[in-house]
């Protein structure tokens, strides 16, 4: 939990806030991320055990906002380089996987 707390004062532990307020959102996001890692593969956005052009289309749709409310793990898989952002860099890296 410490890694998902917001530090309120000095970095790390301090007298005023301990490790900071529990950041419930980060903790929940981390829990989902761990669940996704167990069941999904980055780049396999439709989770069909294959990374192909269908996944590219899904990532593109997520980027331009056409995907209807992607699930959390779908978002996670679409962020191929796991930098917290889904963009053209993820598409390029998924293309690299497809063309080998
Ligand atoms: Ca797929
Ligand atoms: Ca990314």
Q: pLDDT tens digit string along 44-56?
A: 999 999 999 999 9
Cβ of 4: how many Cβ atoms within 10 Å?
A: 17
Question: Is 70 exceeded by the pLDDT of residue 7?
Answer: no
Q: Which ligand places an atom closest to the C-alpha of 51? A: 1
C-alpha neighbours within 13 Å on the C-beta side of residue 94: 27
* 47 CA to centre of ligand 2 in angstroms: 17
* Cβ < 5 A residues, ion ligand 1: 44, 46, 48, 50, 55
Burial of 99 (C-beta count, 10 Å sphere; 0-12/13-18/19+): exposed
- Mean pLDDT across 68-79: 90
Question: How confident is the model at residue 28, as a pLDDT?
Answer: 79
CATH level 2 (architecture), domain 40-100: Orthogonal Bundle (1.10)
Q: Which two tokens stand for residue 59?
A: 């990532």
**Percentage of residues of the chain with pLDDT beyond 70:** 78
**22 Cα: distance to centroid of ligand 2 (angstroms):** 26
Ligand nearest to the CA of 52: 1
Q: What is the structure's pLDDT at 24?
A: 77
Summarize the confidence of residues 67-94 as an average pLDDT. Answer: 93
**Domain boundaries defined on the chain:** 1-39, 40-100
Q: Tens digits of per-residue pLDDT, 61-71?
A: 999 999 888 88
pTM for this predicted structure: 0.70
- The ligand that comes nearest to the alpha carbon of residue 80 is 2
């Amino acid at each position: 939990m410490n890694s998902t707390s917001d530090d309120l004062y000095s970095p790390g532990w301090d007298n005023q806030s301990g490790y900071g307020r529990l950041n419930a959102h980060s903790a929940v996001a981390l829990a989902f991320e761990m669940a996704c890692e167990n069941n999904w593969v980055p780049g396999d956005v439709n989770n069909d055990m294959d990374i192909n052009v269908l996944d590219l289309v899904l990532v593109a749709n997520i980027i331009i906002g056409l995907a209807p409310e992607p699930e959390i793990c779908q978002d996670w898989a679409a962020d191929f380089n796991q930098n917290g952002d889904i963009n053209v860099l993820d598409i390029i890296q998924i293309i690299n996987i497809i063309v080998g």
